[in-house]
């Protein structure tokens, strides 16, 4: 659902943001800092690699910040059973949400039922309150492929469709708007990739994004906070 300018002026931007750090060289101190920044800002969550889920969960315990992890990251080309195992282990370690990369090769091959079955199989194994977001690398898909993929994800009971990993270019207002239109209110949209400023966030939220994934959360929050006072 898109938002009017009036709604944007009163929104709580930090609650849209998933403060992200998926760099392979990030150390424990970096994860702790990420969590502290998210708590201070009141972000929705932190996004960390699977090996850091337990650490992040301990850091945010007792706060409103949730832990998000990834599965099949960043290519999505692993075996289905491996991706499902990785996702379930992330939940077991304390993640509330998992962003799983769809098998893009399946999508390009027209094997959407297989792709959706992978998601549905995982969803049936998840517990109440756990959310699954599916990364589709929209920059690698045609508009029609994006539409058909969203429909398949709805069939697979996914909670969100996510624009991309960020490895293949930034997301755009047009891309988010197209996914929102295809979703028809039946699945939420997470925007990620190249989101660096408050303006980027507001434009994407106005286009209908329900969540914003960004590694620039600290700078975005500082700017947002300055504008409020």
CATH code for the domain in which residue 63 is found: 3.20.20.70
- Where does the pLDDT of residue 3 fall: very low under 50, low under 70, confident under 90, or very high at 90 and above? low
Q: Which of 83, 133, 159, 190 is catalytic?
A: 190
Question: What pLDDT score does 10 carry?
Answer: 76
pLDDT tens-digit series, residues 50-89: 999 999 999 999 999 999 999 999 999 999 999 999 999 9
Number of domains in the chain: 1
pLDDT above 90 covers what percent of the chain?
94
Q: Which of 99, 159, 200, 210 is catalytic?
A: 99
Q: Which of 133, 162, 200, 210 is catalytic?
A: 162
The predicted model gives 102-125 an average pLDDT of 97
Question: What pLDDT score does 216 carry?
Answer: 98
Please indicate whether residue 3 or residue 103 has the higher confidence score (pLDDT): 103
Average pLDDT over the chain reads 96
The predicted model gives 147-164 an average pLDDT of 98
Question: What pLDDT score does 1 carry?
Answer: 54
Task: Establish whether 190 is a catalytic residue.
Answer: yes
Q: Which domain range does residue 97 map to?
A: 5-228
Q: Is the model's pLDDT at 151 over the cut of 70?
A: yes
Task: Establish whether 162 is a catalytic residue.
Answer: yes
Helix axes 53-60, 28-41, angle to 10 degrees: 40
Question: What pLDDT score does 170 carry?
Answer: 97
DSSP per residue, the chain: ----HHHHHH--GGGGEEEEE--TT--HHHHHHHHHHHHHHT-SEEEE-GGGHHHHHHHHTTSSPEEEEEESTTT--S-HHHHHHHHHHHHHHT-SEEEEE--HHHHHTT-HHHHHHHHHHHHHHSPTT-EEEEE--GGGS-HHHHHHHHHHHHHTT-SEEE---STT----HHHHHHHHHHHTTSSEEEEESS--SHHHHHHHHHTT-SEEEES-HHHHHHHHHHHH-
**What pTM, to 2 d.p., does this model score?**
0.95
The predicted model gives 107-120 an average pLDDT of 96
Q: Is the model's pLDDT at 5 over the cut of 60?
A: no
pLDDT tens-digit series, residues 9-37: 679 999 999 999 999 999 999 999 999 99
- Where does the pLDDT of residue 8 fall: very low under 50, low under 70, confident under 90, or very high at 90 and above? low
Task: Establish whether 15 is a catalytic residue.
Answer: no
């Amino acid at each position: 659902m898109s938002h009017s300018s009036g709604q944007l002026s009163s929104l709580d931007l930090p609650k849209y943001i998933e403060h992200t750090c998926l760099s392979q060289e990030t150390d424990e101190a970096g994860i702790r800092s990420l969590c502290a920044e998210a708590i201070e800002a009141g972000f929705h969550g932190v996004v960390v690699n699977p090996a850091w889920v337990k650490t992040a969960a301990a850091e945010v315990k007792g706060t409103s910040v949730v832990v998000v992890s990834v599965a099949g990251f960043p290519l999505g080309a692993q075996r289905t059973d491996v991706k499902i195992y990785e996702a379930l282990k992330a939940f077991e370690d304390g993640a509330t949400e998992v962003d799983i990369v769809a098998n893009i090769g399946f999508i390009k091959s027209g094997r959407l039922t297989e792709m959706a079955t992978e998601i549905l199989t995982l969803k049936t194994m998840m517990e109440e309150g756990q959310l699954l977001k599916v990364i589709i690398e929209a920059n690698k898909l045609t508009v029609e492929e994006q539409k058909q993929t969203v429909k398949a994800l709805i069939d697979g009971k996914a909670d969100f469709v996510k624009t991309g990993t960020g490895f293949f270019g930034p997301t755009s207002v047009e891309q988010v708007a197209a996914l929102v239109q295809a979703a028809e209110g039946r699945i939420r949209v997470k925007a990620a990739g190249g989101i660096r400023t408050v303006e980027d966030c507001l434009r994407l939220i106005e286009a209908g994004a329900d969540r914003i994934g960004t590694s620039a959360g600290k700078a975005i929050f500082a700017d947002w906070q300055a504008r409020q006072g």
